[in-house]
Amino acid sequence: MSVVRLATRRSPLALLQAGIVQGFLTRIGVESQLVEIETSGDQRLDVPLSVLGGEGVFAVEIQRALLRGEADVAVHSAKDLPSQSPDGLMLASVPERLDASDVLVGRSLAGLGPGATVATGSPRRRALLLERRPDLRVVELRGNMATRLAAAGSNGIDAVVAAAAALERLGATDRVAERLDSTWFVPQVGQGALALEARMDDLETLLVLEQINDPDSFACVAAERAFLRELGQGCSIPAGANATIDNDVVTVHGVMIGVDGTRSVRSSIEGVNPETLGTQLARTLRDEMGGGSLPGWQSTS
């Protein structure tokens, strides 16, 4: 086919990820070019994600460019992608996923003294930290990955929470002070994965993307997105889900936790239908949490 146009955010990490997709395409003999787009989430770095509304702030403009025909593929961090694609678009491909875990940069959890300051822009990360260490001072942090990594050890910030996959892609794994146990510190839906959207009627592009899809990674992301979709935007509690697959058996771990970390529920489920599993796990946790009525939820948790 002709050159595939890849729509991407302009942040350094997003451009790196789009370049990774270009590499996949090159290996199957497909030429591509980048279409750089500034999203609302990138423009308003002074506003916390919890105020912006979270879900979609790094994806909507990219999806609109795709729908307008200005690009053929939208390249997302799967964790930034809303739980349901707009009419006319579909999640077409998830290349092989990296580690979904969160990490601490600066100091390990045990190395943080009483009252130490940890920075994160995520309500989920904040709540999970406070669950284990209610003495910590957790402050807001926005900006690209370089800005966030530089914050550790400066301006009174002792540690920063980041995604393991982001540091791996940036070649910065030497900055990791501790990899947080994903059965406790359950990752954000889609973390560590790239999500490639395309128009549903663009069969040529869909066939190309199928060639760089990793079926196991796609199944795991599908389970997690079903979890988030079932919770819905009306849910008021930070949550996370992480799916793994072994011999076609999918296991999904999930958490819902109060914003101050004082109340949480966790569960896991396994089976063969990813979306059914994610949906059922969300219902189980929501029921155990009393319907998800506490304040503070942001679905890009």
Q: Using one digit for the tens of pLDDT, what is the confidence trace for 226-273? A: 999 999 855 668 999 999 999 999 999 999 999 999 999 999 999 999
Is the same domain home to 2 and 82?
A: yes
At residue 57 the predicted structure's pLDDT band, cuts being 50, 70 and 90, is low
Lowest-confidence segment of 52-61, 75-84, 156-165, 220-229 by average pLDDT: 52-61
134 torsion bin: left (phi>0), alpha (psi -120 to 50), beta (else): alpha
pLDDT at 152: 94
Lowest-confidence segment of 1-15, 84-98, 125-139, 227-241 by average pLDDT: 227-241
Is the same domain home to 115 and 261?
A: no
Say what percent of the chain tops pLDDT 90: 81
pTM: 0.90
pLDDT at 83: 87
Average pLDDT over residues 105-127: 96
In a domain, 18, yes or no: yes
Is the same domain home to 208 and 221?
A: no
Is the same domain home to 141 and 27?
A: no
pLDDT at 6: 98
pLDDT at 46: 47
At residue 295 the predicted structure's pLDDT band, cuts being 50, 70 and 90, is very low
Residue 291 pLDDT greater than 50, yes or no: yes
Is the same domain home to 203 and 66?
A: yes
Instruction: Give the number of domains in the chain.
Output: 3
Mean pLDDT of the chain: 90
Give the span between the Cα atoms of 81 and 221, in whole angstroms: 11
Average pLDDT over residues 155-159: 96
Is the same domain home to 72 and 109?
A: no
Q: What CATH number should be reported for the domain holding residue 288?
A: 3.30.160.40
In a domain, 235, yes or no: yes
Residue 298 pLDDT greater than 50, yes or no: no
Residue 35 sits in which domain range? 1-96+193-213
Lowest-confidence segment of 22-31, 42-51, 116-125, 153-162 by average pLDDT: 42-51
In a domain, 299, yes or no: no
In a domain, 24, yes or no: yes
Residue 58 pLDDT greater than 80, yes or no: no
In a domain, 300, yes or no: no
Is the same domain home to 227 and 175?
A: no
pLDDT at 233: 56
In a domain, 125, yes or no: yes
Residues that are catalytic:
80
Residue 7 token pair: 């729509």
Is the same domain home to 203 and 61?
A: yes
State the amino acid at position 192 in one-letter form.
G
Average pLDDT over residues 135-142: 94
**Residue with the two structure tokens 């509304």:** 53
pLDDT at 208: 98
3-state secondary structure string across the chain: CCCEEEEEECCHHHHHHHHHHHHHHHHCCCCEEEEEECCHHHHCCCCCHHHHCCCCCCCHHHHHHHHCCCCCEEEEEHHHCCCCCCCCEEEEECCCCCCCCEEEECCCCCCCCCCCEEECCCHHHHHHHHHHCCCCEEECCCCCHHHHHHHCCCCCCCEEEEEHHHHHHCCCHHHEEEECCCCCCCCCCCCCCEEEEEECCCHHHHHHHHCCCCHHHHHHHHHHHHHHHHHCCCCCCCEEEEEEEECCEEEEEEEEECCCCCCEEEEEEEECCHHHHHHHHHHHHHHHCCCCCCCCCCCCC
pLDDT at 47: 47
Is the same domain home to 155 and 18?
A: no
Is the same domain home to 203 and 262?
A: no
Give the span between the Cα atoms of 148 and 21, in whole angstroms: 24
Is the same domain home to 244 and 207?
A: no
pLDDT at 143: 82
Report the interhelical angle of 215-231 vs 274-288 (nearest 10°). Answer: 30
Is the same domain home to 223 and 138?
A: no
In a domain, 186, yes or no: no
In a domain, 57, yes or no: yes
Q: What CATH number should be reported for the domain holding residue 87?
A: 3.40.190.10
